[in-house]
A and B are shown apart, each in its own frame.
Chain A
Amino acid sequence: MVRKINQYLLTHYPLLWNTRIVWVMAINLLIHLLFFVSGFGSVSVDKFKDYNDVWEVGGGKLFTFSILCSLLVIIVWLIFYLRNNAFKSFYRLSRWYLVKEFLIILLVMFTSITYYSSFHYGVRTKARSITGQAAYIEEVNTINSALAYIPLSNDTYFVLNSCEEKKTRANNPLAQEFISSNTPYDSLVARSLKRPDAFSYRHYCNLFQESYGRSGIITEEEVSRINNRWILTGKRDSIRLLLQSFFRICEKYSIPYELSIDSLTGFVFADPYHGISTIIPNDEYYHDRYSMRVRNTRFLETYPLKTALSFIEECLPDDGSFVIDTEAFLVVGYTALSLSILLLAYRRFSRKVFLISIVGTIVWAILIGLMSAGSGSSDTFSVLCILLCLVFLVIGISVGSYSAKTTSGIMLNWHFYLAPYLLLFVLMLINSSYDRKASLYSGPDWQERFAAAYPFGHWVSENMEMLIFLNLLFAVLYTAFLMNRFGKKWQEMPEE
């Protein structure tokens, strides 16, 4: 079967045969599947509380193993791929042959260095299968509402942190959003502390778990409104039911707690002002004055609850759309492109040119690093890289016309090693200049004034991720068309 497919590819699609794309993609698919299954099996609902984010699942071992697998696959692939080179043999190639070859290299590199992402995708899929988007929103709403009846700190019940007070302060940019009751020297706080309802369930206006950009999550005002309505109308049963739901969630995620629904409900109505009489510790144990570890009679471990919710939040699609971790994608994208350019340099130029260009790159990279460090300015590195990239191109092309073939090849290789990052260096310069100017502005509306004064810098700063992504696409096209074209021209060039 394998032999037949190989024979068919060899006699019909020699590029596919030479690049072994069918086999390497099949192997990559299998490895991605194994990583996915492994990720899917590595998390369970009771483990959600142990991970701050998806990247913690698997940890360093996952990355080490993923890199080893990548190296193994790439090395084995190269052993087969580098056996033949139709380009250097001057076989009759079709118009787009070289571009296609580069895109295949890029595809192989990209799929061979992203095994760990399938592991993470498996983790995310498992988490979503346990707590979907709708369930998560419902659970967050339950937790945010129920925690109004589980006083974990005085301050969230302090009259100055009620929704009305927060709303009043919202118009004052200098005012604090949250006021600590532990500042009696503040006259306002001191006055408020004298009130009989200084700390009351009715002032609760807080969200334990926020979720930006995800619709369906209730606001702190809504929490406050429902809370007040239930307290004022004596809806003990509603509070009981809410707390029951909350504890079911805690049990689902194995969150340690020791609380009684009756007690908690009783505390709400124990006082005519619905004052806070008991603070629930958020740790199971405390240390007494003899440093003995003592178990609290009542407690709720909020840290694991928060961790579990954050973990699910990260695993869910971003507001219903397919989630791509943009930053991780860009890092992988640029890495795959750089590796592909290195391989392309080997395929298009002579071994001698390739080796000298690699060694030379290490040398000038060290020199640039030293010069940048010596100058004390972060811009020096970018400026030097931009200049070198352009100088290499100019020398590479002009030297070519005088037939100094090796020099031309080395210069062109250096240019293409730097070219994908050219725009990034420019963006770094713009951004650093923008940041320097920003430090000159102050005042409540400084951001608006600054943005109006430097619209381009502001736009760059706001759209940095998009620009980096567009540059990646441009760099792929630039390499695919120009590096291949120059490589061909270089091969045509006489030696002396």
Chain B
Amino acid sequence: MIPTFSQRLAEVSGYFANGDHHLGYRRLLDAAIETSNFTIYEHTLEFCNWYDEASNGAEKAQLTEKVNELLSKIGNGYTDRQVSHEARLSAENISKRYASGNFSLSSMTVKLHPSQIIGLVGENGNGKTTLLRILYGELKPDTGSISYRFTMPQASPYGKKSFIAFVPQRPSAWYGSLMENLQFASTYTGFKGRENHLWTEMIIARMGLRPYRDYTWGRISSGYKMRFELARTIITKPEVILLDEPLANLDMLAQQIILEDLKFLAQSRSMPLSIILSSQQLYEVEKVSDEVIFLQKGVARYQAIKQQEEDIPARLVLEMETPASRGQLQAALEAYGLEKISFNGGIYILYFGTGTSLSSIFGALGSSDLPVKYLRNISVSSRRFFDA
């Protein structure tokens, strides 16, 4: 359920009040972008300038006052718009076999709605990129059909591609400054003159690129290259974004920020994005995805809407890191319905029969005094399909 705009503004105010300034700052910019109002953008950018210069030494009261003043303007400048909830991308029974015969993607159906994020997970070489390229129109499926439904209907495939963005794992190098490139994209989206400047600055601020405006490709890190790609994509106001391994080469913090950003962008009320994201960072992707597709050797081994999956009582599957031996684990947990143990040398995957609860396992581990470094319930995570 997407919160109302006033709920969002209240959330932002709450973030600042609780001292979560960084999160509050990003959500504040999201709210400002939602208004599509250039006067609000101007005020927001003034706030950004002030925030960049004074936030560290600013009084809490002063910051709260500034934030609330801006939130009030944002609230007044926002007009709710109706957005269609029809699927933007529908791929029915698509399959693909490469001419070389090395790999085939089995028949699958994907429907992507506004504000929806689909996480595409699986090990390397299992068809994630192939599926994304098919959905983007870069590869032709052998069977099935793909249809797109955008706010502005496009007759030609070229026109459609300007509303569907594909961000590859390794973005191509760009030349000139970061700002120039974003302004160039912005002009083609229809933002001219002052509007161009404001829109570009807003996206730069939102993606945390303000200090790197004048930087060139060679001067920014991999994480910021990915942020730039996202900024360039968002600036063109696409309706569908396909991201191929955007988290690869990013550190943990950067991964979390990117995923949070994607979630916020998807949940925009006025410009909701539809996102398909492939990754091997299962837990992180699962946190933001509405639907997860697990691909194994080109077959969608598992495809479920997260909420539905969580509602289904499943058997308990745990991921555990412990210096204890397989025998010790077996002995401690056998009485609790332990059916199978997988071990990859560092991590154990423990499969229990139905009816075993997590609390009983905690109890068993506590009483057996086994040293546990890490324990995670993966009963509803696609992680359970990976070998240990």
Which residues of A come within 8 Å of B, CB atoms? 10-12, 14, 17-18, 82-84, 86, 89-93, 403, 488, 491-492, 494-496
Q: Which of B157, B180, B184, B188 contacts A92 (CB under 8 A)?
A: B188
Stretch at the interface among B134-142, B262-270, B329-337: B134-142
Q: Which chain B residues numbered 223 to 275 have a C-beta less than 8 Å away from chain A?
A: 236
Residues on the B chain within 8 Å of A89, using CB: 185
Q: Which of A10, A82, A494 contacts B184 (CB under 8 A)?
A: A10
Smallest beta-carbon distance A488→chain B, Å: 5
User: What are 5 A-B pairs at a CB distance below 8 A?
Assistant: A11-B196, A86-B188, A91-B162, A91-B236, A496-B98
B147 within 8 A of A: no
Smallest beta-carbon distance B200→chain A, Å: 9
Q: Which of A17, A93, A488, A492 contacts B137 (CB under 8 A)?
A: A492
Q: Which A residue's beta carbon lies closest to that of B157?
A: A492
Contact A91 B185 (CB under 8 A): yes
Residues on the A chain within 8 Å of B140, using CB: 403, 494-496
B158 within 8 A of A: yes
Tell me the complex Cα distance, A494–B191, Å: 30
Q: Which B residue's beta carbon lies closest to that of A492?
A: B157
**If A492-B161, A496-B139 touch, does A11 touch B176 (CB 8 Å cutoff)?**
no
Tell me the complex Cα distance, A84–B162, Å: 16
Most buried by A among B174, B184, B189, B196: B184
Residues on the B chain within 8 Å of A93, using CB: 188
B374 within 8 A of A: no
Residues on the B chain within 8 Å of A17, using CB: 184
Q: Which B residue's beta carbon lies closest to that of A79?
A: B175
Tell me the complex Cα distance, A403–B137, Å: 12
Q: Which of B176, B187, B190 contacts A83 (CB under 8 A)?
A: B176
Q: Which B residue's beta carbon lies closest to that of A496?
A: B139
Most buried by A among B161, B175, B181, B188: B188
Tell me the complex Cα distance, A495–B185, Å: 25
Contact A11 B183 (CB under 8 A): yes
Q: Which A residue's beta carbon lies closest to that of B136?
A: A494
Contact A10 B180 (CB under 8 A): yes
B297 within 8 A of A: no
| Shortest Cβ-Cβ A-B pairs, 10 listed | A91-B188, A494-B140, A83-B175, A492-B157, A11-B196, A14-B187, A90-B161, A92-B162, A90-B162, A492-B158
Q: A12-B192, A84-B176 are in contact. List 6 more A-B contacts (CB 8 A).
A: A11-B196, A14-B188, A83-B176, A403-B140, A492-B156, A495-B140
Q: Which B residue's beta carbon lies closest to that of A403?
A: B140
**If A91-B236, A92-B162, A488-B158 touch, does A496 touch B193 (CB 8 Å cutoff)?**
no
B99 within 8 A of A: yes
Most buried by B among A12, A91, A403, A491: A91
B73 within 8 A of A: no
Q: Which chain B residues numbered 110 to 139 have a C-beta less than 8 Å away from chain A?
A: 133, 137-139
**If A84-B175, A90-B162, A488-B158 touch, does A11 touch B192 (CB 8 Å cutoff)?**
yes
Q: Which chain B residues numbered 159 to 204 have a C-beta less than 8 Å away from chain A?
A: 159, 161-162, 165, 174-176, 180-181, 183-193, 196-197
Tell me the complex Cα distance, A93–B189, Å: 9
Residues on the A chain within 8 Å of B184, using CB: 10, 14, 17-18, 84, 86
Tell me the complex Cα distance, A298–B371, Å: 125
**If A84-B176, A495-B138 touch, does A10 touch B162 (CB 8 Å cutoff)?**
no
Contact B189 A92 (CB under 8 A): yes
Tell me the complex Cα distance, A207–B376, Å: 109
Smallest beta-carbon distance B184→chain A, Å: 6
Smallest beta-carbon distance B350→chain A, Å: 43
Residues on the A chain within 8 Å of B138, using CB: 494-495
Tell me the complex Cα distance, A471–B183, Å: 40
Contact B187 A11 (CB under 8 A): yes
Total interface residues on B, CB under 8 Å, equals 33
Residues on the A chain within 8 Å of B137, using CB: 492, 494
**If A90-B162, A496-B140 touch, does A12 touch B181 (CB 8 Å cutoff)?**
no
Tell me the complex Cα distance, A495–B236, Å: 25
Tell me the complex Cα distance, A11–B162, Å: 19
Contact B192 A84 (CB under 8 A): no
Tell me the complex Cα distance, A181–B124, Å: 99
Smallest beta-carbon distance A408→chain B, Å: 13
Tell me the complex Cα distance, A12–B194, Å: 10
Smallest beta-carbon distance A404→chain B, Å: 10
Tell me the complex Cα distance, A10–B184, Å: 6
Residues on the B chain within 8 Å of A10, using CB: 180, 183-184, 187, 196
Smallest beta-carbon distance B127→chain A, Å: 14
Smallest beta-carbon distance A134→chain B, Å: 55
Smallest beta-carbon distance B207→chain A, Å: 18
Residues on the A chain within 8 Å of B197, using CB: 11
Tell me the complex Cα distance, A92–B186, Å: 10
Tell me the complex Cα distance, A495–B175, Å: 27
Residues on the A chain within 8 Å of B174, using CB: 83-84
Smallest beta-carbon distance B173→chain A, Å: 10
Q: Which A residue's beta carbon lies closest to that of B197?
A: A11
Tell me the complex Cα distance, A93–B175, Å: 21
Tell me the complex Cα distance, A323–B99, Å: 61
Tell me the complex Cα distance, A250–B312, Å: 111
Smallest beta-carbon distance A490→chain B, Å: 10
Tell me the complex Cα distance, A368–B138, Å: 36
Smallest beta-carbon distance B122→chain A, Å: 21
Smallest beta-carbon distance B97→chain A, Å: 10
Residues on the A chain within 8 Å of B157, using CB: 492
Residues on the B chain within 8 Å of A14, using CB: 184, 187-188
Residues on the B chain within 8 Å of A91, using CB: 162, 185, 188-189, 236
Contact A12 B193 (CB under 8 A): yes
Tell me the complex Cα distance, A89–B188, Å: 11
Contact A495 B139 (CB under 8 A): yes
Residues on the B chain within 8 Å of A83, using CB: 174-176
Q: Which A residue's beta carbon lies closest to that of B189?
A: A92
Contact A494 B176 (CB under 8 A): no
Q: Which B residue's beta carbon lies closest to that of A97?
A: B188
Residues on the B chain within 8 Å of A86, using CB: 184, 188
Residues on the A chain within 8 Å of B176, using CB: 83-84
Smallest beta-carbon distance B95→chain A, Å: 13
Q: Which A residue's beta carbon lies closest to that of B133?
A: A495
Smallest beta-carbon distance B145→chain A, Å: 13
**If A11-B192, A494-B138 touch, does A90 touch B181 (CB 8 Å cutoff)?**
no
Q: Which B residue's beta carbon lies closest to that of A491?
A: B158
Smallest beta-carbon distance B185→chain A, Å: 6
Contact B183 A494 (CB under 8 A): no
Q: Which B residue's beta carbon lies closest to that of A17?
A: B184
Residues on the A chain within 8 Å of B180, using CB: 10
Tell me the complex Cα distance, A202–B123, Å: 108
Tell me the complex Cα distance, A11–B196, Å: 6
Smallest beta-carbon distance A471→chain B, Å: 30
Tell me the complex Cα distance, A428–B289, Å: 67
**If A10-B187, A491-B158, A496-B140 touch, does A92 touch B175 (CB 8 Å cutoff)?**
no
Residues on the A chain within 8 Å of B181, using CB: 84
Tell me the complex Cα distance, A92–B197, Å: 18
Tell me the complex Cα distance, A70–B93, Å: 56
Residues on the A chain within 8 Å of B189, using CB: 91-92
Tell me the complex Cα distance, A89–B184, Å: 11
Tell me the complex Cα distance, A482–B190, Å: 26
Tell me the complex Cα distance, A428–B161, Å: 45
Smallest beta-carbon distance A98→chain B, Å: 10
Residues on the B chain within 8 Å of A494, using CB: 137-140
**If A83-B176, A84-B175, A496-B98 touch, does A12 touch B187 (CB 8 Å cutoff)?**
yes
Tell me the complex Cα distance, A11–B179, Å: 12
